[in-house]
Amino acid sequence: MGRPPCCDKIGVKKGPWTPEEDIILVSYIQEHGPGNWRAVPTNTGLLRCSKSCRLRWTNYLRPGIKRGNFTDQEEKLIIHLQALLGNRWAAIASYLPERTDNDIKNYWNTHLSPPSAATYASSAENISRLLQNWVRNTPKVNSEKATTTTTTTTTTTQHSSTALESLLGFDDSSTTTENSNSADEKGPSLALLETWLFDETVIGGGGGGGGGGGGHEDLIDVCLNDPDNLF
């Protein structure tokens, strides 16, 4: 069933991009906008495959990308989101608009990956415990917000820890809903979790502290007050 490759292997340049290529790509996209990647190599004369052009744009050339070290807040957010969403880097990146999925993925693999993941929430029980704690401590605001999304889910969450597990998809029987959609298309349960996630009292969690800076609050503010901005 061989599907043809996205581009001819012959005559396609690989490896690092040169500044000249970057300029060509950027000016083309400035003129035509991103999209129709298939046409980009043809129209620009770049000897690159369409995927390579898209990748270069989204990971490097796209305006608004923040490079350099991740802040404490970003790191915490990534850890939280990874625990919730798994390795869905694109979905995680949507919460960090200034970072690319590739960046986040690299950061996770080099700084955070297996040990942190294991210690943070390696098991269903762990997450379930966290969520039970959340349910216990959740201010009404959260419930109300969640309720606006869906009342049935809210009532369910408040009463059963097994339901919490199934919400997260630990129960195989619930995988249909879980798998059918990507994280971008948030179901009610995810909306709940998001609310929990961005609730600073939970994140700050009693304590710890590492110094919750204003930057974190800013980020949360954006998430809570202007979520559209994130997508």
Residue ranges binding DNA (CB under 7 A):
3-6, 13-17, 35-38, 48-52, 54-56, 59-60, 67, 87-91, 101-103, 105-107, 109-111, 181-182, 184
Compute and round to an integer the Cα radius of gyration of the chain: 21
- Closer residue to DNA (CB): 90 or 222: 90
CB 21 within 8 A of CB 48: yes
- Closer residue to DNA (CB): 105 or 145: 105
- Closer residue to DNA (CB): 103 or 194: 103
- The total number of residues written for the chain in this structure: 231
Residue 115 is which amino acid? Answer: P
Question: How far apart are CB 84 and DNA at their closest, in Å?
Answer: 12
Question: How far apart are CB 19 and DNA at their closest, in Å?
Answer: 10
Question: How far apart are CB 132 and DNA at their closest, in Å?
Answer: 27
108 closest CA partner among 146, 79, 139: 79
- Closer residue to DNA (CB): 123 or 175: 175
Question: How far apart are CB 91 and DNA at their closest, in Å?
Answer: 6
The set of long-range contacts for 181-187, using a CB threshold of 8 Å and a minimum separation of 24, is 182/88, 182/90, 182/91, 183/85, 183/88, 183/91, 183/94, 184/90, 184/91, 184/94, 184/231
